[in-house]
Structure 1
């Protein structure tokens, strides 16, 4: 524990890894009785997961989540050019301690975090009855980043593996993985109806290095990795991020049919909104039309943006849609404000 006197006679009290102390809640509440103390506490494992903070200190302080490095933070310390750094960022993520390690050591570091910190802590803290099911759900969410899913679908898949598990258990375990800051859920939002669609949702990994390590670095679908990285970047910048859904009716073979178009991200912050598509490549007219067509069904004045892995300069096309290279988007925290 360290303290430092401020000029106005106040004290800073900083306690690292407070979960190692027995009865730390009473200790902190005792500090709160002294108006001269400005208290900062950190914690990282099973005794200090997100829900514990909410329960123990509700209304008594502010939670600050320390996230992995964004690409703009990672790039200058990577020692690599932009493209090489981007590829490694998608592979190994942004946890600072692993940046200086060789590839094999970094893989081992990330894998050990999963087994000795995340999974073990969740099992211990939450009293997990079926650790093998928790691991299977961890694998499934890692494999399905950017794809629609829900606990029922996961339950059905798990049962095909011979594991008899209930829907409530699957839903609970998904919540534990979110609570440990391993995944975030992004819900579908009906843009015209202005309401959320309860299920299914998309889940994104909060660090791609952890995700890739959980899958043994065997699944490197760069389109999904790029989409996940864009989602994380928007969250770093303080946006609430939903999946946009637009319902339309079209005549197909003489019949009027209903279908849904999807916009990858609806990013909101205050009175600002951006509609964003993640397109790894737009190398033909069919792909371009696929990415842009949902935008053409919108009739509001918010900015529309396609972020692509193609090597293109940032420009606004003839339909008023901004097209930007993903590295240009990621390396500049103010790239949205400047379009």
Structure 2
């Protein structure tokens, strides 16, 4: 397994705290691997295997566990009142009513709980009500460029770094893609792209018109770094012979963000000190997926670089807006705690 020391340290630092740890991120970013790394850490530090409950709900034998009652039945067979237990539940979002089960386990048992999911909606609604103040999100992303270099055993000071960055900008940082031979990288990316669109967007959002959904994704991917809004997207696609209402596009944008495929940066007026109710910028989670979504067109490298910078700032824990100062634009206003960074790309 590929080590993800930063994320693992985050989990270890939160170990045994009275908080449910929720690992979120786009599919295939490494959530399941991180959970297994944490399990290995627990075993290596004296936690008995019998006191670790590990369930991956995408495993063959667990795919039929879809209801609250079925989840309770599975856990009831292994939960104990006289032992501290570590409960690791992978891709739990497809189980209806899982929030109530997790809340009940927190209240009734001495346990440390870590769960993963590929949809942002799992952090809202009933979970937010039941576990208010008692959960912490750990977002995970595909490899950063630094992680990419480590995975490829490339010295950051070597002369091959420039070539490595070109590969990173082309194929992105999904772990499976990074470690694959170049001949199959696009096949793997296409599989990830289709799975996210079909399982995490279309199926979850009951979207029947996959063609329209892909057209919106293609527009966003092709216009990375540009200010866009639903009306603009609708008008552009209409000119290309595809009629999609702004309301439908707004719904698609929400579903794509929930699946962690895109992130939206709002526009902030520095003089007026307020967010503008206008367009925003959308950034795709991975440069490799962006290329697949645009039918492998290279596109504008400056905009690609802006996308990579945005994702890196997200990875480092910043909240990011697009700045407006009179007629000028600041690429990013990045905030974390009391720190504020004003970022403009050099390319």
Given that 2:190 and 2:292 are in contact with CA atoms closer than 8 Å, whether structure 1 keeps it comes out as yes
Q: Relative contact order (alpha carbons < 8 A, sep ≥ 6): 1 or 2 greater?
A: 2
Matches within 5 A, 1:248-267: 260-267=327-334
Say yes or no: does 1:118 pair with 2:197: yes
Provide, for residues 89-139 of structure 1, a one-character-per-residue CA deviation record: whole Å limited to 9, x for no partner.
Answer: 111111112111112311100111111333343111111142221111000
Match of 1:214 in 2: 293
Distance 1:278 1:261 in 2: 14
Q: 2:229 aligns with which of 134, 150, 155?
A: 150
Residue aligning to 1:278 = 345
- Structure 1 Cα separation of the partners of residues 94 and 271 of structure 2: 50
Q: Of Structure 1 and Structure 2, which has the larger fraction of its residues in helix? A: 2
Unaligned stretches of 5+ residues in structure 1: 248-259, 281-339
- 1:33 Cα offset (Å): 2.5
- Please name the residue that 2:122 is paired with: 52
Change (3 A) 1:129 1:208: same
Contact 1:31–1:39 under 8 Å retained in 2? no
* Mapped partners of 1:221, 1:165: distance in 2: 26
The residue aligned with 2:137 is 63
Q: Residue 206 of structure 2 corresponds to which residue in structure 1?
A: 127
Q: Structure 2 length as normaliser, TM-score? A: 0.70
2:143/2:173 contact within 8 Å kept: yes
**In structure 2, C-alpha distance between the alignment counterparts of 1:268 and 1:53, rounded to whole Å:** 22
Instruction: State how far apart, in whole Å, the 2-side matches of 1:277 and 1:21 are.
Output: 43
Matches of 2:89 and 2:282 in 1, distance apart? 33
Q: How has the CA–CA distance of structure 1 residues 191 and 96 changed in structure 2, closer, same or farther, with 3 Å as cutoff?
A: same
Greater Rg by CA:
1
C-alpha contact (below 8 Å) 2:222/2:299 kept by paired residues? no
* SS of residue paired to 1:154: helix
Q: 1:121 to 1:275 in 2, by over 3 A?
A: closer
Q: TM-score, normalised by structure 1?
A: 0.72
**90 and 39 in structure 1: CA distance in 2 versus 1, 3 angstrom threshold:** same
**Counterpart of 1:75?**
149
Aligned counterpart in structure 1 of residue 102 of structure 2, from 28, 40, 47: 28
Distance in 2, Cα, partners of 1:194 & 1:104: 49
C-alpha distance after superposition, 1:183-223 (max 9, x if no partner): 11111111111111121111111111111111232124221
Task: Pick the aligned partner of 1:268 from 319, 335, 339.
Answer: 335
2:122 corresponds to 1:43: no
SS of residue matched to 1:184: strand
Other structure's SS at 1:64 match: strand
- Structure 1 segments (4+ residues) deviating >3 Å: 1-6, 19-27
Say how many residue pairs are matched: 263
2: CA distance between counterparts of 1:13 and 1:116? 27
